[in-house]
Structure 1
Amino acid sequence: MARNTQDPVADQPGEQPAGKRLTPAGEGAPRAARPRRASKPNGQWKVDGTAPLNHNEEFKQEDGGLNVRERIENRYAREGFDAISDDDLHGRFRWWGLYTQRKPGIDGGRTATLEPHELEDRYFMMRVRMDGGRLSIEQLRTVAGISEEFGRDTADVTDRQNIQLHWIDVRDVPEIWRRLESVGLSTTEACGDVSRVILGSPLAGVAEDELLDPTPVIDEIKERFIGDPELDNLPRKFKSAITGHPSQDVVHEINDISLVGVEHPEHGVGFDLWVGGGLSTNPRLAERLGAFVRPEQAADVWHGVIRIFRDYGYRRLRNRARLKFLLADWGPEKFRQVLQDEYLGYELPDGPPPVKPTVTGDHVGVHRQKDGRFYVGLSPVVGRVSGSMLRELADLMEAAGSARVRTTPYQKLVVLDVAEDRVADFVAGAERLGLTAQPSLFRKDTMACTGIEFCKLAIVETKATAKDTVEELEERLADVADRLPGQLTLNINGCPNSCARIQTADIGLKGQIIPDGQGGQTPGFQVHLGGGLANHANDAQGELGRTVRGLKVPADGIAEYVERLVRTYLERRDGEETFAHWAQSADEEALV
């Protein structure tokens, strides 16, 4: 998609031509033959100096993104939307979890052609930051109340473990912050060129089979480094994930840094270090550095990696300003050496890789905790909830003896600490709210991004399309329900940016405008097939999906296409062959 480039800090999807995968510079040649310096400066602070090479870097140096809070509270909230400066509106507001949302009524065919002010509404999307996806019942009720009072009862559980609200008026933002912060929540660095929310295992501290609880590490990183002015000007966003659960439930292969629980034969339980993952139009799975990290070292190692990104990350071109590009050029050996020599001052021991998981990490259903109580994983439809639903969920939790809930990277909710004798009543009550612990295959495994309803970058609608598709597939494939695999992921994205992780799904759909066969155009999707991550139990290091040349599906034809594809898979698979394995090796004629 040819993106509008006037927005100075938009996350550009055009990292390389679509369909090409990022590979290290000079791959296949001896390391010494790789180019050591680009013909033009890349804006690396430790190589090229800190002089800004584009407007995005200029405005960040002129005034840090965190500083905009004072103007929001003391000026913009009083004077209203029209008083907001351009660099604050399209830049620094993001450091506090605020984006302008899409103006209603603008079709996807105009997304790439309109100016930002033509696309955006006078209302904001707000992300509530929840590191590790943790919410107390008091926090849940606070978020629910904000949604009902200030957000027209909107709320989405995102695949970054945030809760996202809409229809936020800048005049209400100070009061929203006051309410969030009164219960220990915030929107600090929920967006922007900073460290975004830290993904954490939803079962941290409660799972019977947990290797270690990552909560102390997540809390230490948050307390020491989130909101630190020394780290509030990165080349672009920085995504983190930490888990100690054997299901590897934080999609570690697609984060800038991940710490995955392992047991070292000499040093005991700790973390395996992964670096340089990311999707968008230029997907790249993270790589292991082969280093073992003790729990007490983890926060410092995280700090070292983010400073490498700050100091060596590419800043000249925004479409190359992600850590994955640096890792591709350096390779894991050099990255580890720089981390140890320049940022840690000590060597990390070699360590083992994580053991291949045997189950998915979505945690849906009823499961026993290590203390004898139960956690209940609930599935909304593609993450769409509401303030009123969350408020009623809090009431159900209280009646069931629970005071804690976690969000997941799969747009799910996991309620903790349910008493055994109250599980059945709780599950039944949640079902009445539209939150099921026993979802169909398609309801459980379908995700969707925000889409054209609110997102300025979207080309097609996603949430309602996904909901309709799930309901239709439940009917169309009812006769083969007992033959379906235990997992079949369907990820639906409204543009090429892959917020819904289309390249890592069994069936990934990328929104675009396609020919309607009658000389016009219609909303549709390009198809990606056979992707998966370790916590999908496909391959220990994951695999990106393939695209079928010329295969595009209209938005109103998704269910028909998926039904045809799934029936072909059931007919042609080899024994218990997974869908992803079959789709990666099948002839193209079987996939259309």
Structure 2
Amino acid sequence: MYRYDQYDHQLVKERIAQFRDQVRRRLSGELTEAEFLPLRLQNGLYMQRHAYMLRIAVPYGLLSSAQVRMFAHIARKYDRGYGHMTTRQNIQFNWIKLEDVPEILQELATVEMHANQTSGNCIRNITSDEFAGVAADEVIDPRPYAEMLRQWSTFHPEFAFLPRKFKFAINGAEEDRAATAVHDIGLTMVRNAAGEVGFKVMVGGGMGRTPIIGSVIREYLPWQHALTYMEAILRVYNQYGRRDNKYKARIKILVKALGPEEFGRQVEAEWAEIKDGPGTLTVEELQRVAQYFNDPAYEALPAVDAQFEQLKTTDKAFSNWLKRNVKTHKRSGYAAVVLSLKKTGVPPGDITAEQLDFVADLTDKYSFGEIRVTHEQNLVLADVKQTDLFTLWQAVKAQGLATPNIGLLTDMICCPGGDFCSLANAKSIPIAEAIAEKFDNIDFQHDIGDIELNISGCINACGHHHVGNIGILGVDKDGSEWYQVSIGGAQGNSTSIGKIIGPSFAADQMPTVIERLLNVYVQQRTDEELFIDTVQRIGVAPFKEYVYATPIATALNEVKSEEAACV
């Protein structure tokens, strides 16, 4: 993985010193909260309902074991013993004291980490495929290019105060696991007819108040021009993006207003002025960065191990875990393992200090000292020997990290919601917990098959509800918390935005709503058809009709009466 050079170290050192003085002035009263606000946001510090929240950058989701141990240390010393993995592959701590932040940043710097540009109207943490470098379907490893984009965008003086926050995603595999279609800029690595490496460029994607799927403005961009073309896109946006209304300030609004063709024309015109300038990448620069992402010291292993094959067939629990949590690796005899942070009873994405230390030890023992964060809020050990899988499974099971639900109903994406976030209209975590408890039957979940359920506590869509097969959005209704449901959303190669099924529901109705949606699916599905396939085939109407056929409140009362009678 990438290691800081002298410039990285100097930038982080200077930023910490600068922010330490800003915190001092805020605590002394020299700075008002209004004056301090843009300064703290530039350092990833939010004021939430109960305390400050610090969001730490994890570039393209890649971590070393030393960095994971630092997270454990921060959780113990400065927070309440846990952290929360986010949909931008970062980690955030929700119970931070302002006076501690400079010390936290100082400690993070010792393991080459920071919180810069995890907030504010700038280029945020660049995300990528959590299986980059090991995926069997990978076309080109995107990590060196993600790192060059990170270096280019860090403290870029021209793009420090954009009209609104700006998000990149880059994917290098046949299957899009980086959700490129719903980012401000989504880059897909491709080869042209001559076999040369480049990018397909999408712009104007996003979720939030106005969900939009991005538009392709270039089918092939030579890799050498990645930075200059991104600069051209951002210059057009910086000049013409709206600043009078933050709800209409994202690049997706500008692309929609101009039309993708006109926006692309303006980008090409801007690019023509700079395309062969000093921002053009060279082979030497690519090689310099790519060396940090060379393959680890893989062993020559057989494709099949007899003992492993036997355990697959004789131990059902192990077999279930293999089916859901273990992914194909590009190297024979290895596998990529997903550690589930979705155990029933635990808020999705939360991980304790003890679990972080445990994961760091696993990373050193089984995966060459590296681990990844997924935008589904799980963790990945990317390089595990097949012969170690059974031992690893037993270890992670004991720590509550082996729930065999990856891609299933209880593998929910869920933002912190109203329990923490001051922007939220409603709580997310209790809804996730209620649904997980109702469907906490792994055999049932396996029967239902792949399904994505995403929950956001407000329209900012941090829980990616728009692209969930089932999406839940917390809304405010006359001061009460209600939940709007959509179905038919999807990410990946066939990204789609979900459609709202009708009026919103009260919190205690949500498990029954999900049950009714699943009942329609089970009744209507054909062989091998997933939930999203059924929705796309029969449309929203049958689901809506069944969900609203009998008032949910009546159904809940009937259930409660039956339970009382049984007692």
Decide whether the 8 Å contact of 1:97 with 1:191 is kept in 2.
yes
- Partner residue of 2:48 out of 67, 84, 101: 101
Is 1:153–2:105 an aligned residue pair? Answer: no
Q: Paired residue for 2:400? A: 434
SS in 2 for 1:92: helix
Which residue of structure 2 lines up, in the alignment, with residue 277 of structure 1? 205
Question: Displacement of 1:210 after TM fit?
Answer: 0.9
Aligned residue pairs: how many? 481
Structure 1 residues 74 and 290: alpha-carbon distance in aligned structure 2, compared to 1, 3 A threshold: closer
Matched-pair contact (CA < 8 Å) for 2:16–2:105: no
**Contact kept? 1:379, 1:444, Cα under 8 Å:** no
Q: Of 535, 545, 552, which residue of structure 1 is paired with 2:498?
A: 545
Q: 1:372 to 1:573 in 2, by over 3 A?
A: closer
For 2:545, give the aligned amino acid: E
Compute the RMSD of aligned alpha carbons.
2.6
The whole-number CA distance in structure 1 between the counterparts of 2:324 and 2:259 is 34
Higher RCO (Cα < 8 Å, 6 or more apart): 1
Q: Out of 354, 368, 373, which is 2:334 matched to?
A: 373
After TM superposition, give the deviation of residue 465 of structure 1 in Å. 2.8
Distance, in Å, in 2 between the alignment partners of 1:223 and 1:75 is: 25
8 Å Cα contact 1:126-1:168 kept in structure 2: yes
* Residue of structure 2 in register with 1:252 after alignment: 180
Paired AA for residue 202 in structure 1: E
Name the TM-score, length of structure 1 as normaliser.
Answer: 0.76
Corresponding residue of 2:21: 74
How far the C-alpha of 1:390 sits from its partner, in A, is 0.9
Q: Conserved in 2, the CA contact under 8 Å of 1:276 and 1:323?
A: yes
Does the CA contact (< 8 Å) of 1:256 and 1:324 recur in 2? yes
Contact 2:393 2:402 in 1 (8 A): yes
Deviation at 1:555, TM superposition (A): 1.6
1:219 pairs, out of 129, 147, 152, with 147
Question: Secondary structure at the residue paired with 1:102?
Answer: coil
Q: Is the 8 A contact 1:512 1:525 kept in 2?
A: yes
Counterparts of 1:433 and 1:229, CA distance in 2? 45
After superposition, what is the alpha-carbon deviation per residue over 1:354-378, rounded to whole angstroms, capped at 9, x for unaligned? xxxxxxxx99424334374332112
In the alignment, the residues of structure 1 paired with residue 121 and residue 155 of structure 2 have an alpha-carbon distance, to the nearest angstrom, of 12
SS of match in other structure, 2:418: coil
Partner of 1:393: 359
Percent same amino acid among aligned pairs? 28
The equivalent of 1:230 in structure 2 is: 158
Structure 2 counterpart of 1:473, from 433, 439, 460: 439
Q: CA separation of 1:371/1:335 partners in 2, compared to 1, >3 Å: closer, same or farther? A: farther
Aligned counterparts, 1:20-99, within 5 A:
72-77=19-24, 80=27, 84-99=31-46
Per-residue Cα deviation, 1:44-68 (whole angstroms, up to 9, x for no partner): xxxxxxxxxxxxxxxxxxxxxx998
Give the letter aligned to residue 484 of structure 1.
I
The residue correspondences of 1:279-298 to structure 2 (distance < 5 A) are: 279-298=207-226
Deviation, 1:223, is 1.6
Describe the SS at the equivalent of 1:190.
coil
Cα distance in structure 2, aligned partners of 1:87 and 1:555? 35
1:590 aligns with 2:546: yes
- SS of 1:474's partner is coil
Q: Please name the residue that 2:309 is paired with.
A: none
> Equivalents in 2 of 1:324, 1:241: separation in Å?
15
- Alignment-mate amino acid for residue 87 of structure 2: D
Residue of structure 2 equivalent to 1:525:
483
Report the 3-state secondary structure (helix = DSSP H, G, I; strand = E; otherwise coil) of the residue aligned with 1:91: helix
> Aligned-pair distance for 1:316?
1.7
TM-score by length of 2: 0.79
Q: How far, CA to CA, are the matches of 1:320 and 1:190 in structure 2? A: 21
State the one-letter code of the partner of 2:20. Answer: E
Alpha-carbon contact 1:365-1:437 (below 8 Å) kept: no
User: Would the aligned equivalents of 2:182 and 2:212 in 1 still touch at CA under 8 Å?
Assistant: yes
Distance 2:409 2:438 in 1: 11
**Deviations 1:537-564, CA, capped at 9 Å, x for gaps:** xx3xx221111232x2222222222112
Residues in 2 aligned to 1:329 and 1:347: alpha-carbon distance in whole angstroms: 26
The answer to whether residue 496 in structure 2 is matched with residue 496 in structure 1 is no
Q: Go from structure 1 to structure 2 and tell me whether the alpha carbon gap of 1:328 and 1:454 turns closer, same or farther (over 3 Å shift).
A: same
Tell me how far 1:430 sits from its aligned partner: 1.6
Q: Are residue 190 (structure 1) and residue 142 (structure 2) matched? A: no
Q: Secondary structure at the match of 2:431?
A: helix
Relative to 1, partners in 2 of residues 1:266 and 1:309: Cα closer, same or farther, differing over 3 Å?
same
State the distance in 1 between where 2:447 and 2:334 align: 33
Contact 1:523 1:554 in 2 (8 A): yes
> CA deviation digits over 1:301-327, x for unaligned, max 9?
222222222122111222111100110
1:460 counterpart (409, 426, 451): 426
Letter of the structure 2 residue corresponding to residue 89 of structure 1: F
Spell out, residue by residue over 1:12-70, the C-alpha distance to the aligned partner (whole angstroms, 9 max, x if none). Answer: xxxxxxxxxxxxxxxxxxxxxxxxxxxxxxxxxxxxxxxxxxxxxxxxxxxxxx99865
CA distance in 2, matches of 1:245, 1:430: 28
Match in the other structure for 1:484: 448
Residues 219-244 of structure 1: CA distance to partner in whole angstroms, max 9, x if unpaired? 11222221122221100100000110
Task: Give unpaired runs (5+ residues) of structure 1.
Answer: 1-65, 104-122, 349-361, 516-520
2:469 is equivalent to residue 511 of structure 1: no
* Counterpart code for 2:456: N
Q: Is the 8 A contact 2:409 2:453 kept in 1?
A: no
Task: Give the match for residue 100 of structure 2.
Answer: 172
Question: 1:459 is aligned with what amino acid?
Answer: N
User: How has the CA–CA distance of structure 1 residues 439 and 578 changed in structure 2, closer, same or farther, with 3 Å as cutoff?
Assistant: closer
Secondary structure at the counterpart of residue 528 of structure 1: strand
1:534 counterpart residue number: 492
8 Å Cα contact 1:449-1:463 kept in structure 2: yes
Structure 2 Cα separation of the partners of residues 182 and 482 of structure 1: 43
Structure 2 SS opposite 1:262: strand
Matches of 2:72 and 2:22 in 1, distance apart?
Answer: 27
Once the two structures are TM-superposed, the CA of residue 75 in structure 1 deviates from its matched residue by 4.8
Answer yes or no: is the 8 Å Cα contact 1:379–1:443 preserved in 2. Answer: no
Cα deviation, residue 88, structure 1? 3.7
1:323 pairs with 2:251: yes
Give the C-alpha shift of residue 73 in structure 1.
Answer: 0.6
- Name the residue aligned to 2:288: none
What CA distance in whole angstroms lies between the structure 1 residues aligned with 2:90 and 2:324? 17
Match of 2:388 among 413, 422, 438: 422
TM-aligned CA deviation for residue 431 of structure 1: 2.0
Q: Structure 1's 78 and 345: CA in aligned 2 closer, same or farther, altered over 3 A?
A: closer
Task: Give 1:496 shift.
Answer: 1.9
